[in-house]
Every structure is written in structure tokens, then in C-alpha cells.
Amino acid sequence: MKLTLLVKLAPDKQQHKLLKRTMERFNEACNDIADVAHQNKLANKWALHKLVYYRIREQYGLSAQMTVRAISKVVEAYKRDKSIKPRFRPHGAMVYDKRILSWKGLEYASILTLEGRIRVPIRIGEYQKARMDRLRGQADLILRDGVFYIAATIEVPEATPLDPVGTLGVDLGLKYLAYDSDGESYSGAKIDEVREKNAKLRAALQGCGSRSAKRHLRKLSGKESRFHRDVNHAISKGLVTKAKDTRRRIALEDLGGIRRGVTVRRSQRSRLNSWGFYQLRQFVEYKALLNGVQVVAVPPRGTSHICPVCGINERANRPNRDSFRCIGCGYAGPADYVAAINIAARADVNRPIVSGSFFEHAVPPQGQSLPLKG
């Protein structure tokens, strides 16, 4: 499996200016190449190379390999949608390979610039140190909030798949980002708090319009998404660790296109649109591969209002957002927990969502309620 390792650079002022100028020139060249590709409807790397290579090298002062990497970047972007001309930001990622970037132990990176190679100090932690020997292929030089990083590709072996003896069902949502079939919940309250706080702050800064307010807005940009990402990493790690320790597969809802099929109040739109369920699923999937845990996706339809005890499928079983109470047998419990149980059962193609031994550990006596954990 290929993963991305982020390595922080610590250039001095002169090196920082040189890296920034090289990045700007590279992306300027990419925009020029994109014009040619779009005008000629050309998405073939070799054909485009013949058209632009020598002119781009001379006009923008790029090295031979920088020019090759610029052409490749344009072709990859243009192939994604040939109906539009790709545009590249001045400080968009600059692509490097082993010919123009090399590592000097755990202390420096040797990076080619417009004025030749420079040795830039790197700052890495124990996590990066343990994986530097696995670096493979190309890397991207990125600029984030004035700080340069190298996003390098590493190869990590996948673990031998475990032979599962059960299923851990996971219900994804807004109030609880995840709720598993063991009854453990992962609340989204902190994310809601951060989103509301940032929304108010952005509105105030935009209303002010001063130079300092604009600087603050730039600093705020991306902060919320990084927080969401960190939360999703923590949740996915917890789910995969639990599944591995109990030798179970993980069953998730297939929520593709969920935003198109859901209608919410205007006050809830930003909450729905910022819901990072797909990112959480990606994190679960790649962490599961590294740990030998199987992940299966099941259709979500009906999981929130089917009774796991008697199998009655009625929307009336869910009188409100948080509660489930079967109109047939009287079984009651937290709605998200019931959905997680149903998701786990649906993952087994040989077992329908009805009563049985699978639920004996989770279902209370008829008519009683389960406590809401979290």
C-alpha cells in the first residue's frame, strides 16, 4: 500500500524565497502548457512534450526534469476533464522525483531550484523517522500557511487478512459521527462547536474588512478542515483497533450520493455539507488494510427503522431522531445503536436482519431500553 508521509522543511530566509520563486515559475509554466493542451485537445504526454518542451525550458528557466514533471502534471489534470482548461495556482504543489530531490540522511533534503540544488534542513518526528527508509517514487513540494513541506510517497506492506469471527457494525451520522454495534458512540458535538465558532468569526472578520482581518481570515482558512481530519483519524483508529482485537470485520453504510437524497432545514445545510463521512470511511479502509481487518459496505436503506428482534420494518418504529421503539415487540433502544446492529447483520449475506444468536449479546429483555453510551 502507498501512503503519504509529510516532512516539514526548515529553510532559511534565502532558501525560502528561492523555493517560493521556483514553485511560482513551475506553476506559471504549467498554465502555459495547459493552454497548449486545451487548444490542441491534447492529453497525450509524449505528443505534448514534442510541442512545448524546448520553449518551456527556455522561457521559464526550468531544468529538463522540472519541465518533464510540469508536462506530466498538466496531462494528469487535463485527463480528468477535457471539457475545461486546467488552471494552477501560483503556490500549487510542485512535483519532484528522485532526479531532482534526494534525501541526505534524516537531516537534509537536496532540492533542485531555479538556481541549482540547495540543502534544506528537515524537521521530522519519530513517526517519520521510522518510515524514511520506505520512500518511493515522486514527492510534492507544498506551501501551507507559509511553511514548506514535502509530501512523499512511502510503501507500507499490508497485513495478512484476519479470518473474522464476527462483524462490528458502524452507523455514520451527524450527531454521532459513528456509533458501533457494541454501543460505543463517537460524538460530533465538538466539531459542531468548532464549526459554529469559526462561522461567527469569519462573518465578523469579513464584515470588518481591515488588512489585519484579511490576514486573520487567511490564517483561519483550512484550520477547521484540519480539525475534522484529526477527529476522523482518531475515530477510524479506534474502530479498526477494536475490530482487530476482537477478530471482527467492519461493516459501514454505503452513503454515496447521500447529500442529493436528503432534505434538511436551512440552518442544517452547512452541517450536512461539512459532514466528512467519506473521509472517515477512507481512513477506516486504509487503516483496516494495514491491520488485516476486512471492511464491507452495506446499503443503508431501512437500517434505522427495522427491529433487530422481530424484524418488523416500519418507520413508526423510530418516533424521533434519537429513539427506537418497535411497535410490534416493544424492543427499545438508541436509534443509532439499533442501526449499527442492523448494519452488522446485513453485512452477513447468509443472515437476514431478524432475531437470532447474533443479537444475544446486545439485545435487552423485551420492552426494556438500552442505556445511551457516549
C-alpha cell at 334: 438508541
149 shares a domain with 270: no
Taking the C-alpha atoms of residue 47 and residue 83, their distance in angstroms, rounded to an integer, is 19
The per-residue pLDDT for 96 is 95
Assess contact for 108 and 119: CB atoms under 8 A.
yes
The last residue of one of the domains, among 155, 185, 208, is 155
| Phi, psi dihedrals of residue 46, rounded to the nearest 5° | -70, -40
The per-residue pLDDT for 145 is 83
Give the number of C-alpha atoms closer than 13 A to the C-alpha of residue 267, restricted to the C-beta side.
1
Taking the C-alpha atoms of residue 124 and residue 106, their distance in angstroms, rounded to an integer, is 8
100 shares a domain with 86: yes
* Per-position pLDDT tens, the chain of length 374: 778 888 999 999 999 999 999 999 999 999 999 999 999 999 999 999 999 999 999 999 999 999 999 999 999 999 998 889 999 999 999 999 999 999 888 899 999 999 999 999 999 888 777 778 777 778 999 998 899 999 988 887 778 888 889 999 999 887 788 899 999 988 767 766 776 777 777 778 778 878 888 777 777 767 777 788 888 898 999 999 999 999 999 999 887 644 444 454 554 444 444 456 788 888 999 899 989 999 998 888 888 889 988 888 898 998 888 899 999 999 999 999 999 999 998 887 544 444 333 333 334 333 333 333 33
Tell me, rounded to whole angstroms, the distance of Cα 162 from its chain centroid: 25
282 shares a domain with 185: yes
The per-residue pLDDT for 301 is 81
C-alpha cell at 196: 459554529
Residue type for position 289? L
Q: Kindly give, in sequence order, each residue whose CB lies less than 8 Å from that of residue 287, ignoring residues fewer than 6 positions away.
A: 236, 237, 240, 293
| Phi, psi dihedrals of residue 71, rounded to the nearest 5° | -65, -45
85 shares a domain with 226: no
36 shares a domain with 142: yes
The last residue of one of the domains, among 133, 155, 177, is 155
Rounded to 5, what percent of the chain is helix, strand, coil?
45, 20, 35
111 shares a domain with 220: no
367 shares a domain with 236: yes
189 shares a domain with 135: no
151 shares a domain with 9: yes
The per-residue pLDDT for 230 is 85
The last residue of one of the domains, among 123, 155, 187, is 155
The per-residue pLDDT for 162 is 87
226 shares a domain with 133: no
214 shares a domain with 198: yes
The per-residue pLDDT for 187 is 79
Range of the domain at 344: 160-374
Number of domains present in the structure of the chain: 2
Full DSSP string of 172-221:
E-SSEEEEETTS-EEE-HHHHHHHHHHHHHHHHHHHH--HHHHHHHHHHT
174 shares a domain with 294: yes
